[in-house]
Amino acid sequence: MAEQKGQHEKIQDGTEESKEDSRLEQNQGEKPLSFMAMVVVTGFIGGLLWSAIAYLCYFFSFTKIEPNIIFEPWAVGDWVDKWIGIVLSIVAYGVISIGVALIYYGVLRRFKSMWVGAAYGIALYLAFFIILNPLFPSIKSLKSIDYHTLITTFCLYILYGVFIGYSISYEENELRHQNEKERSGEVTH
């Protein structure tokens, strides 16, 4: 018992023995997220962030498109227009954004330029207003929407695309650079 107490005191004092023991939890570093997990988290956070900003734009009348429009084809009831509908729509955009980030990961992750992310945002904008327009009857056609809404949503989609694209491409290039260093022997773990 006294021996265990002495061992415990050594560990608490931070002696050299305790600092060298890799089995101790305090000496184990955090394991980084896998690249795919980082893509999923980036997509979810991007969806939350930019849909919340889109709601603020709607709240301040920069756009006439309500963020809770996502529930229009499926939801019935007035809960969609209340605070719970707003919160759930923001979370739903986060979940959908995971898929958007995975598509970017699969197709465009190797490009280093932020302009690829901006182009991806423009492609998403066009897909929403042209291809998905029939799903949302309250959205007018692209030609009949007021220019404040068009400009605001265009900018939001570009910023969203840059956020998703640059985050994923940056991490891809960092991992590639780190792997090249490890192969050349510059970095050892």
What's the average pLDDT block by block, 10 residues per block, for the chain (189 residues)?
52 54 62 85 96 95 88 77 89 96 92 91 93 84 88 96 94 87 70
pLDDT at 109: 86
Does 163 fall in a domain?
Answer: yes
Does 187 fall in a domain?
Answer: no
Does 8 fall in a domain?
Answer: no
pLDDT at 150: 93
Does 23 fall in a domain?
Answer: no
pLDDT at 71: 83
Is the entire prediction scored with pTM above 0.75?
yes
CA distance 149 to 60: 12
Cα distance between the two ends of the chain: 38
Alpha-helix runs per DSSP H in the chain: 2-13, 16-20, 35-59, 83-108, 114-126, 147-184
| CA-closest candidate to residue 168, choices 101, 107, 115, 121 | 101
What are the pLDDT digits (tens) for 32-84? 778 899 999 999 999 999 999 999 999 999 999 888 888 887 777 787 778 88
Does 14 fall in a domain?
Answer: no
Report how many domains make up the chain.
1
CA distance 157 to 146: 17
Do the Cβ atoms of 47 and 97 come closer than 8 Å? yes
Q: How many other CB atoms sit within 10 Å of the CB of residue 39?
A: 23
Does 108 fall in a domain?
Answer: yes
Q: How many other CB atoms sit within 10 Å of the CB of residue 36?
A: 10
pLDDT at 85: 87
Structural domain including 160 reads 35-175
Contacts 24+ apart (CB under 8 A), 128-132: 128/157, 129/153
pLDDT at 143: 83
Does 84 fall in a domain?
Answer: yes
CA distance 55 to 162: 19
Which token pair is 125? 């904008």
Please identify which residue in the block is written with the tokens 């009857």. Answer: 137
